[in-house]
Chain A
Amino acid sequence: MIRFEQVSKRYDGGHEALSSLSFHIEKGELVFLTGRSGAGKSTLLKLITAIEKPSSGSVRVNGALLKNYNRKDIAFYRRSLGIIHQDHQLMMNHSVFDNVAQPLYIAGEKPADVKRRVHAALDKVGLLSKVSFRPIQLSGGEQQRVGIARAVVKRPVLILADEPTGNLDPELSKDIMELFEQFNQLGTTVLIASHDLGLIARLNYRVMSLSNGQLVETPFASRGGQS
């Protein structure tokens, strides 16, 4: 599903965020990506979402080389992703409904389908009662859940989550992780960048640990996949 081959990313100014990184994530896998701040997690996710291009090496998603995509191809490719941002990336002037519905509007879904699917997604994250609220009226945790609902509303083939449980209490974190696991069991590939070692330790999934832009061994890194 995701294949990195000798990928390096050097930003203007010379900082090398990723260094000759190679890995492969199988279709239908759930993988944790961990590492300290500045280890290169965000850069890795940006390369997968085609926000950044690698300085060298190749990134393939679903067999396609991302560097061959033009602007339109990138837009269509992103529709197949469910992206959860650490800073939520919500449209503050729009309602919760409109935020979650945005991927469906972009895809040109019928209004009746949009309503049904948005309500179902918000129900899953426990925010159905706040459908007409604006994100500014919600807590950080609730905003995070709106972002999660938006990411899963289109049933993406690949979910990329950057600290999805960072603002949530343990009970809600558990519920959200169960939601990811449900999607994973339906065949969705899930890549979760997280600092929460307790959460990672509790769940028995493959862990990729980044340090200084390279994959390193961690206590969990030997896991081969779901037990």
Chain B
Amino acid sequence: MSNTKKTSNRKRQQVKPQTDIGGWARHHLKCASDAFLTLVRQPISSALTWLVIAIALMLPALFYIMLQAAASQTSHWQEGGQITLYLADATSESAGTTLANELALRPEVLKTEFISKEQAWQSFRPVISENTELQLESNPLPASVVVIPTLQDQADLEALILTLQDLPEINDIQIDLAWIARLNSLLDIARSTVHLLGIILSVAVLLIVGNTIRLSVESRKSEIEITKLLGATDAFVRRPFLYLGAWYGLFGGIAACVLLTLISVNFQSVLEPFLAGYGLSAPAIWLNAGELGTLLFASILVSLAGARIALWRHLRDTDPK
């Protein structure tokens, strides 16, 4: 390093005061309390901002709750899906029963039922008796095994079917899972929609807080200019506005949690007797403590980001002139 550069660095170090952690902490405390008091002293205007934040956060959270409830129900509905294994003619009744029992032992199978040729004929006869022209010399229906799979996703079910196809006793397989696949696809679309909605409304929160902070910076522009003239660093000037953003986020997050809980409790009280009429139990339609905490944290984080972006954009306009 040249002597000139060394001298220049030494001179620059002269202007830098020693780091005072106490002073730094005091300023943080002062900014946090001042920002809090600003919101409290302007209850109407600040409430308008944090309520908008709350509603923006509540909407995707509400969709998320409904989606979770729907997903919990579809796992029960999946039991409605069944696989029918039509057995080869040569398969005896005892071999069919043994096959059904063996399949029931598999972990991916919930239960099985063997239906003999005779049982199939008995259940089919009322249908063909109405058609008097149909003359059958013998029972054409095959014996079958009805397999109810355990709760699993589409890929696992398809793997189970591939395994069953290889069994020598089985002539044909009829699968009644298409509607579950369609339902799962719908739920996937709904999940993507919730994620998209979450991103869009997070951007909305970012813009709301950003605009509020921009207005706050504008209204205190001369004060900021004076503070900078007195030696305030950019970090010092940013701090009160960042705390303001954080408080907006916290207030908005708390309001969103309260509103969500109120809506959930109300809806649950309506849903429970309705589903009880069909012999069904209502799923839990509220966020757990972890999810509420995440919502609160996300609210603060997004609001802070909004404040920081606004400050990055507008703080340079407040340099002394």
B280 at the interface (CB under 8 A from A): no
Tell whether, in the assembled complex, residue A106 and residue B11 are in contact, meaning their CB atoms are under 8 Å apart.
Answer: no
Q: Which residues of chain B in 65-116 are interfacial with respect to chain A, using CB atoms and an 8 Å cutoff?
A: none
Q: Which residues of chain A in 91-122 are interfacial with respect to chain B, using CB atoms and an 8 Å cutoff?
A: 91, 93-94, 102-103, 105-111
Contacts of A73 in B (CB 8 A): 12, 15-16
Q: Which residues of chain B in 13-47 are interfacial with respect to chain A, using CB atoms and an 8 Å cutoff?
A: 14-17, 20, 22-24, 26-27, 30
Tell whether, in the assembled complex, residue B229 and residue A78 are in contact, meaning their CB atoms are under 8 Å apart.
Answer: yes
Number of interface residues of B (CB under 8 A): 30
Nearest-neighbour CB distance to chain A for B37, whole angstroms, equals: 13
Q: Which residues of chain A in 148-204 are interfacial with respect to chain B, using CB atoms and an 8 Å cutoff?
A: 150
Contact of A89 among B12, B26, B229, B232 (CB under 8 A): B229
A83 to B227, CA, bound (A): 12
Nearest-neighbour CB distance to chain A for B43, whole angstroms, equals: 19
- Closest residue of B by beta carbon distance from A88: B226
The interface stretch among A28-36, A63-71, A126-134 is: A63-71
A218 at the interface (CB under 8 A from B): no
Interface flags for B214-230 (1: CB within 8 Å of A; 0: not) read 00000000110111111
B293 at the interface (CB under 8 A from A): no
Contact of A106 among B12, B16, B230 (CB under 8 A): B230
Tell whether, in the assembled complex, residue B17 and residue A90 are in contact, meaning their CB atoms are under 8 Å apart.
Answer: no
A94 to B222, CA, bound (A): 12
A71 to B315, CA, bound (A): 12
Tell whether, in the assembled complex, residue A76 and residue B23 are in contact, meaning their CB atoms are under 8 Å apart.
Answer: no
Contacts of B14 in A (CB 8 A): 62, 64
Tell whether, in the assembled complex, residue A102 and residue B12 are in contact, meaning their CB atoms are under 8 Å apart.
Answer: no
Tell me whether chain A's interface is mostly helix, strand or loop, or mixed.
mixed
A107 to B233, CA, bound (A): 10
B320 at the interface (CB under 8 A from A): yes
Contact of B234 among A71, A83, A93 (CB under 8 A): A71
A33 to B22, CA, bound (A): 40
Tell whether, in the assembled complex, residue B232 and residue A69 are in contact, meaning their CB atoms are under 8 Å apart.
Answer: no
Contacts of A109 in B (CB 8 A): 23
Tell whether, in the assembled complex, residue B229 and residue A63 are in contact, meaning their CB atoms are under 8 Å apart.
Answer: no
B182 at the interface (CB under 8 A from A): no
A49 at the interface (CB under 8 A from B): yes
Nearest-neighbour CB distance to chain A for B15, whole angstroms, equals: 4
Interface flags for A48-75 (1: CB within 8 Å of B; 0: not) read 0101000000000011110011011101
Tell whether, in the assembled complex, residue B227 and residue A102 are in contact, meaning their CB atoms are under 8 Å apart.
Answer: yes
A80 at the interface (CB under 8 A from B): yes
Beyond A51-B321, A108-B27, whether A64 also contacts B15 by CB under 8 A is yes
A220 at the interface (CB under 8 A from B): no
Nearest-neighbour CB distance to chain A for B160, whole angstroms, equals: 65
- Closest residue of B by beta carbon distance from A156: B231
Contacts of A93 in B (CB 8 A): 223
Contacts of B185 in A (CB 8 A): none
Tell whether, in the assembled complex, residue A108 and residue B231 are in contact, meaning their CB atoms are under 8 Å apart.
Answer: no
Contacts of A106 in B (CB 8 A): 227, 230-232, 236
Contacts of B11 in A (CB 8 A): 62-65
Tell whether, in the assembled complex, residue B231 and residue A107 are in contact, meaning their CB atoms are under 8 Å apart.
Answer: yes
Contacts of A91 in B (CB 8 A): 222-223, 226
A49 to B319, CA, bound (A): 12
Tell whether, in the assembled complex, residue B226 and residue A90 are in contact, meaning their CB atoms are under 8 Å apart.
Answer: yes
A54 to B7, CA, bound (A): 21
Nearest-neighbour CB distance to chain B for A88, whole angstroms, equals: 10
List residues of chain A with CB under 8 Å of any chain B CB. 49, 51, 62-65, 68-69, 71-73, 75-81, 83, 89-91, 93-94, 102-103, 105-111, 150
- A and B contact pairs by CB, cutoff 8 A, 11 listed: A49-B229, A64-B11, A65-B11, A69-B12, A79-B230, A80-B15, A89-B225, A103-B231, A105-B27, A106-B232, A106-B236
List residues of chain B with CB under 8 Å of any chain A CB. 7-8, 11-12, 14-17, 20, 22-24, 26-27, 30, 222-223, 225-234, 236, 320-321
